[in-house]
A and B are shown apart, each in its own frame.
Chain A
């Protein structure tokens, strides 16, 4: 049942021959135009982020220093991880507004388990417990959505309330601090510059090897004629990004949380683009009934979707607790769900489902993080920062909607 190639060959004889080549010249022109538009759309957000960076550099003089960019990446990492999870859910037309409270609860578990003032367990045991709790919370949300049929917005609205409530109950509202030095280090320190550069280069090389092999395969299957321009188009932008990352990493190394984000992003990208499961999620979001009638077990796929959100709760909860050196059940992760959804939407994720990319969510998180970071450098009060982010969200979605209408 695995070799589809030979199996589909058999009915060829009896089926009608194609009358004419399906690719008309008009079709090719339209296709090129569409490809250009799509490419432009994909890069729009990148240009916006670049423009914002240039403006802040001009205004502050230090925005584009390796030191500040490292800080920006660290500050954005938690929102970005939540945004990745948000994209995967919104693609299937589900919302998770419980993520902020869920990570607070996970953080409380991690802190209570490991803090010298509490159970003082080994940090690795704390990590494991936090991951288990995160996955259980995700499964809990998923059960209500898929078994009982309560809309995810309501299930996670309830979670927003009681996950935080439970965190407060466990600690009686008190902050649990500090966490062991190893955890604190994980949340705040960096891998050395040499190793960081090596990691960036390795990831780039692995990506390049993968892309070249898939592009060659596309040629072997007759999808492409000339591989060279495609390889160039595919590798040059990533190469530029890698060079920039090397430049930043060579300064002070890359924070562990940024490396965690990178790993999560790569895993999510592979899951969404290169696994049957990812294709299933896009199909469910595009048309749930069609997915069901194509034989997809929609409920199972959605339940797994919430399990993955649970993995994100675990990782983000640990990251947040490590970074702030303790669990603050009243305020940790407050508003994270909205930042995550905003980043996903700015990154082009469609609220109607079926569309959304991991890279878009990362850029969305980068844009919002840049606005915060840049305005902080300029000593703009936080009220103005919130206002600016709100306006950016509205404008981004408005642009997206109008560009889709024109299509």
Chain B
């Protein structure tokens, strides 16, 4: 499904028209190039497009087709330069960012790939559904590799809901679920079974097929219950199913195996907060922050716990820290709006409420990718 995008996808992308030009030789070559491409004579088309852009380097269309054909032939290192030229020349290059990122992924330039996926996302003009599928999937893989497991998980879960347990999606979800900062092609082979089992449990969980999810989770625990992150993952699954007490037990088990597991402490705190055990949540969130002071989620949970226990000034401080660390999180803005209201800071509260509404469903990759990319900016007026 995600292995490649065929040329017909590329053909359907918007591109600028061939500019009117007095250079006959250029026109002739461009026409021949288009004809060769349309006749599927791709080697010839490649040569002709190369000749054409050499004659006229400002021909964005030529760079686009050059990059597209090379991409379609899996010649990723060669495809990058044409896509970069297209991006530089085109007023609306958004899909090209995704193709460039995909090429950079294949040539293992992961930092640049992540950067270009983010530019693609911010440009909010994603291209075809097939591109959304492929690019969104690879973006999630890179988020996992970068240790941004929650964001990756949310992107993948949205796809799992649509597509079910395909093998590649299952593997990607398994890596994110077990907090393994690897790509599918470079994680330790001996962990394959645990990744598969976690992935199956996660996919079925995303589809609310909890019996099937539990069946795979049980298989995971029976062989890998003593490995780090497995009980944490189980806790997350149980929280998703609304079993907060059982989830809390799983987070405790994780902490017996991995005593400095800040996410387990944070989620345990969140779970206790959810069930009204606010002072316990305070203690746990503070322990999480001792281990990981840069965790936006731990600051957020602590801020909410402080809000619940009436410590409004401290709550505001924690939530402001959380906002600084994760400026696009709508949840943090919502909580901030509440605490400002309690503090009588009406103007601040209204500002945060407006930010919450603007970010809700659109914030960074925390929103399902399709929604985010399709949605207009908060400042844009729909046509």
Partners in one complex: no
The chain B residues found within 8 Å of chain A, CB to CB, are none
The chain A residues found within 8 Å of chain B, CB to CB, are none
